[in-house]
Structures are given as structure tokens and as C-alpha cells.
Amino acid sequence: MHVFLRARLGILGGMSQNTVLLTLGRLPPAVDIARSFAAAGWRVVVAEPFKRHMAGTSRAVDLSIQVPAPAAGAAAYLEALRRVIADEDIDLVVPVSEETMHVAQLRDALASEDGAPDVYCAPGADTLALHSKHDFIALAHDAGLAVPDTARVGTPEAAALVEAQDVIVKPEFSCSGRGLQRVTRGSALPATDTAHIVQSEIVGDEVSGFAMARAGRVLVSCAYRATVRHGSVAVAFERFSAPAVEAWIEQFVAATAHTGFIAFDFIIDANGVPRAIECNPRATSGLHFVAQDDIAAVITGAKQSADLRDETLLQEFWSNWTHWFASLRDGDERRLTGWSLRRARDVTWQARDPGVFLLATWSTWPIIGQALKRGETFAEVLALDIEYQPEEPAEA
């Protein structure tokens, strides 16, 4: 475990501060969370497998600590987090992205210890059920919510689905659209070594939903859609009014008594019905639409609800700019990307904290370098070292 950056003093005006630990720093949502806690007077510590990362360039972060990657050994990763919690006197742990599935296991262990910090996520088993593209569908179905028919590969139900209609096949535990395949009606399902699910393909508009919740109560939520995609990942996105999506989220959060960040991918069908195809129990781009000062306030309970930002069109500028160059031969895509570059506000830019934006290429080079070496996209490699994979295949 290596301490590699100290950006600010941990003591203000001679008074000790509460300290929050963010368990990832490489992604823009971590910057929003760090800035919000710093503005609220908290000391911000980041634990990150990469030696340099985006949040580490922010003035909001007091200390960054390099920890082992969970994909290389979950036990070593969780033990490193325990040492950070003890050494830095952590009062609150906030997981950010795919590492949440690991941190949720730590939450369970800490819950039984006197004086342990709160962890802003659901219990371990609940978090993994949400992350599972099979179990999530079952939870939503039991809550009376609209979802596509879904079954695990290798079951009679999966065979019946593909015989009746076109389907989507994807790993049960994955992120960033990796491993997704479309299989036409009547075709053979692919052979797989890991747990995969088969899901009826729904034709309609793809939208996303995001919420922050505590004990089954939605603190803030929004619906948004990608305006520019780089591969399977949105690099520019627009918030819009979608009462049916927000009602779906509220009903699901209440049914599962969820605590933490939570996000969903929806298809709105021809009848205007939103059907959730998968869940991400973590922060996503939707967090950028939440008023930054309110993020820390609702996590800590200082406020019971959060406002949304006035801006409805946002972008990750450098990713969008890179995509613009990649689309020079596609006139429609080039014009769309150019429009968002001119109109959308970057999610990281702040005049009082400019380093995050100006040093973005430098801070994300560990991911960029891997992408170049592997010949894959940024999105495909950014979570390889932190994603959760079950040790044993899921049972059908």
C-alpha cells in the first residue's frame, strides 16, 4: 500500500475534520463526490489501485493511497481498505464504481464492529443480486415492475426464449457492454465457460435512470439518454423528464429497501412502457446531474433530498473530442459530436479546481495505455482490475 499524494491539510482552523474514504478515483463521478465532501468541510481520502488517477488531481482530495486491485485478490484489497480506515481514522466509506461489489462485502464485516465507519451501499448479498443480470430481473419482476423475459444460458427457459424470438446474450456479471451478443430467433445459443443470461430483445428507445437512496427512500433521481456514444459508453448525455422511469425507480428502491447509488438501463417500448434490462448498484454519469453540494449532504443525512443541476446537457469533453476525431469520415456522427462539443458543459471543469480538466490525459494514462496495448476501447479496460467475478459459476 503506497501513499502517493497529499493535496491539502487535514486540519482546518485547528479543529479536526470528519474524513471520508472514496474507494476509487479514476472516474469523473469520484471528482463530483470529492468536491462535494470537501465543500462540506470533510477531509477526503481516495484509495485507488492506479498510482495516478483523475480525482487525485483535484484540490478537494487531501490524500490518495494506492491499494491492490481487487481483481488480483479480493482479500488483499479489502485488507488494504481496512488499513486505510484504521490509519486515516475514516468516518464514512463511499464506494464509487465497479469496486462497489467488493466494498459491499467489507460493509458486512464492518457492520458488526464497534466504532466502524458507515458504508454508503447495500449489504453484500443485496449488492450482488442487483449486479447479477439474472437476479436483478427476478427482483424487479417480484416488485411488479416491467422487465424483459430473462433466463440463464443452459436452462430450458433460455432455449424456449431463443426459439420464440430474437434475444440478447450477455455475461451475468459484466460492465461496459462487454461480451454482449445478439442471437436471432431459432439460432443456437453460444457455448460459454461463465454464467451468461438470455434476454428477450426489446425494440425501443434506450435511456438510463440514476438515483441516490437510503433505506428504500429515493433522495434524488433522474432520467437521461446518451447523445454521443464511444462504443457502448456515453460520452455526452442529456437529462430529460420521464415520470414513468422515475416512478419505476422509486418503486424498485422501496421494494428492495436500497441504500446507496443505483442506476438502471431501460428500453422504452412502443407503448411507452420503460422496461429495465439491467441494474448498476454504483455511481454512473447520472450523478453529474445532481447539484454538487447536495451529494455529500444526502449521503450523510444532512439533507433528506437533493436538487438537480440546471444544466441538462453534459459531456466528458476529452472523450468526446477523441470521438470527434475518430468519426471524421462519418458526416452525421461528426456533426452530432461537434454539436455536443460546442453546447455541452464538461463534467469536470471548475475554474477553482482546473487541474482535473487540464491534467485529464495525464491522470487517465494508466487506462489509455492499457487500451492502446490491448487494442480495445477506453471503456473496455477501465474496470478490468476492479470488476467483480464470482469464484463459482452461478447455478441455473
- CATH at 297: 3.30.470.20
Query: Tell me: the pLDDT tens digits for 57-66?
Result: 999 999 999 9
Neighbours of 304 (CB within 10 A): 10
- Domain hosting 240: range is 205-348
How many helices and strands (H and E) does the chain possess? 14, 19
d(CA 28, CA 22): 12
191 and 249 part of one domain: no
Task: Indicate the average pLDDT of the chain.
Answer: 90
Q: Is residue 266 pLDDT above 50, yes or no?
A: yes
Q: Quick check: is 139 in a domain? A: no
DSSP codes, 60-89: T-SEEEE---GGG-HHHHHHHHHHHHHHTT
In angstroms, what CA-CA distances link 112 with 18, 85, 99? 21, 15, 21
* Residue that terminates a domain, selected from 170, 200, 230: 200
Residue 213's H or E segment, with its range, is: strand 205-214
357 within some domain: no
- Does 29 score more than 50 pLDDT? yes
What mean pLDDT comes out for the span 284-296? Answer: 97
Q: What is the dihedral of CA 80, 86, 88, 91, to 10 degrees?
A: 110
Flag whether 175 is in a domain: yes
Does residue 90 form part of some domain? yes
- Name the range with the highest mean pLDDT among 54-58, 187-191, 228-232, 360-364: 54-58
Instruction: Decide: helix, strand or coil at residue 150.
Output: strand
What pLDDT does residue 106 have?
96
What's the grid cell of residue 258?
A: 436500497
Residue 159 and residue 29 share a domain = no
Residue 183 shares a structural domain with residue 160:
yes
- 196, 214: one domain: no
CATH code, 99: 3.40.50.720
Given this model, what pLDDT does residue 328 score?
A: 60
Q: Are residues 214 and 325 in the same domain?
A: yes
Cβ neighbors of 346 (< 8 A, separation 6 or more) are 314, 315, 316, 317, 357
Mark whether 215 and 332 lie in a shared domain.
yes
**Beta-bridge partners for 237:** 226, 314
- pLDDT tops 50 at residue 178: yes
Q: Which residue has better confidence, 139 or 231?
A: 139
pLDDT above 90 (res 149): yes
* 179 confidence band (pLDDT: 50, 70, 90): confident
Lowest mean pLDDT among 10-19, 24-33, 43-52, 89-98: 10-19
In a domain, 287, yes or no: yes
Residues 116 and 154 in one domain: no
Least reliable range by pLDDT among 4-13, 25-34, 72-81, 280-289: 4-13
Whether 103 is in a domain gets the answer yes
274 with 217, same domain?
Answer: yes
The number of distinct structural domains making up the chain is: 3
- Assess if residue 126 is contained within a domain: no
> Residue 263 carries which side chain, given as an amino acid letter?
A
- 332 and 226 part of one domain: yes
Same domain (yes/no): 219, 330: yes
Q: Among 121, 141, 165, which residue terminates a domain?
A: 121
Please give the C-alpha separations between residue 16 and each of 11, 12, 43, 115, in angstroms, as whole numbers.
Answer: 5, 7, 9, 17
Query: Do residue 248 and residue 343 come from a single domain?
Result: yes
Residue 343 and residue 287 share a domain: yes
- Is position 248 within any domain? yes
